[in-house]
Amino acid sequence: MSALVSVFSRDVELAFRAGGGAAQGAVFFGLVTVMFVFGTGPEPGALARVAAPILWTGALLASLLSLDRVFQADFEDGSLDILVQRTETLEFLVLAKAFAHWVGAVLPLLVITPVLAAMLNVEAMWPLLASLLVGSPALSLIGAIGAALTFPLRRANVLVTILIGPLFAPVVIFGTGAAADGALGAGFGAPPLMLLAAVSLFSLIVAPLAGAAAIRFNLQ
């Protein structure tokens, strides 16, 4: 357990160091959103309607930026061998790494979301934030599967996007649905938010199993 905590805290520390990617992802997220604002034009009400899809897509793209490095950075400097050799249950290692990615790469996106949402004239802020908070762990978890499959390959970034992108579809569909429902006054028990939570919980089970199998295969 303390081994997993040490891996988690080391990964988070590295993410927030200079060049670690936490700030880069947040800046990228902001940039994508601003481009949408420029592209949509000044028509009143137009931005608010597409705000949730824009923010969800932007968060998804920004999280993809760092996903390929989840295991690759450790593979390249030899620390993946160390972690795998030390860990008896590889599934928990995948979980710790995915959770560290969420804290180090996705949480900064959620922190700046209120600012970006205000820029997009979003009025129902809480439903949007709730949908991101409930759904975004699935991005890190499903993404960890892609990272575990591709870490020995060069230019894994594009491959992770191609492999994992389609699996993100349910997250975006239910995520934007939950934000829209919430804006209309639905409570926290509304179906889209519940389905979004189900996707996150499902990936919480599947990602460690699939990720650990992929790492074992790749190190063989």
Partner 1 sequence: MPSGPPRITMTARGVAGARGGRPVFEGVNLSLAPGEAVVLRGANGAGKTTLLRILAGLAGPSAGAIEFDGPDMNGDPPTAATASVYLGHLDGAKGPMSVDRNLAFWAQLYGRRGAPFDDVKERLFLSDLGRRPAATLSAGQRRRLGLARALVSGRPVWLLDEPTASMDSPSAARVAEIIQAHCASGGSALIATHEPMALAGERAFRMAAIGDAP
Residue (93 or 199) nearer to partner 1, CB: 93
Q: How far is CA 3 from CA 69, 90, 97, 144, 207, in A?
A: 20, 12, 12, 19, 20
Residue 82 vs 169, nearer CB to partner 1: 82
Spatial distance between the Cα atoms of 15 and 17, rounded to a whole number of angstroms: 6
Q: How many CA atoms lie within 13 A of 194 on its CB side?
A: 6
Which of the ranges 10-18, 46-54, 108-116, 182-190 carries the binding residues for partner 1, by CB under 8 A? 10-18
- Residue 93 or 207 having the CB closest to partner 1: 93
The residue type of 171 is V
Contacting range for partner 1; rule: CB under 8 A; set: 7-15, 26-34, 36-44, 131-139: 7-15
Cβ distance to partner 1 smaller for residue 75 or 168: 75
Please report whether residue 117 would count as binding partner 1 according to CB under 8 A.
no
Nearest distance in Å: CB 90, partner 1:
10
Q: Least distance (Å) from partner 1 to the CB of residue 164?
A: 25
Does 152 sit near partner 1 (CB under 8 A)? no
In the Cβ-directed half-sphere of 211, how many Cα atoms lie within 13 Å? 32
Candidate residues 41, 88, 187, 189; the one interacting with partner 1 per rule CB under 8 A = 88
Q: 26, 83, 182, 187: which one contacts partner 1 (CB under 8 A)? A: 83
Considering only the stretches 1-9, 62-70, 125-133, 185-193, report the one whose residues sit in contact with partner 1 under the rule CB under 8 A. 1-9
Judge whether 143 and 67 are in contact, CB under 8 Å. Answer: yes
Please give the Cα distance from 129 to 123 (Å, whole number).
12
Cβ atoms of 127 and 188 closer than 8 Å? no
Q: In whole angstroms, how close is the CB of 75 to partner 1 at the nearest point?
A: 9
Is residue 103 a contact residue for partner 1 (CB under 8 A)? no
Q: Report the site for partner 1 in 23-82 (rule: CB under 8 A).
A: 76-79, 81-82
Contact partners, residue 61, CB within 8 Å, separation at least 6: 28, 29, 32
* Cα dihedral 149, 153, 157, 160 in deg (nearest 10): -20
Calculate the CA 1 to chain-centre distance.
24
CA-based angle 65:70:74, to the nearest 5? 130
Residues near partner 1 (CB under 8 A): 2-3, 5-7, 10, 13-14, 17-20, 76-79, 81-88, 219-220
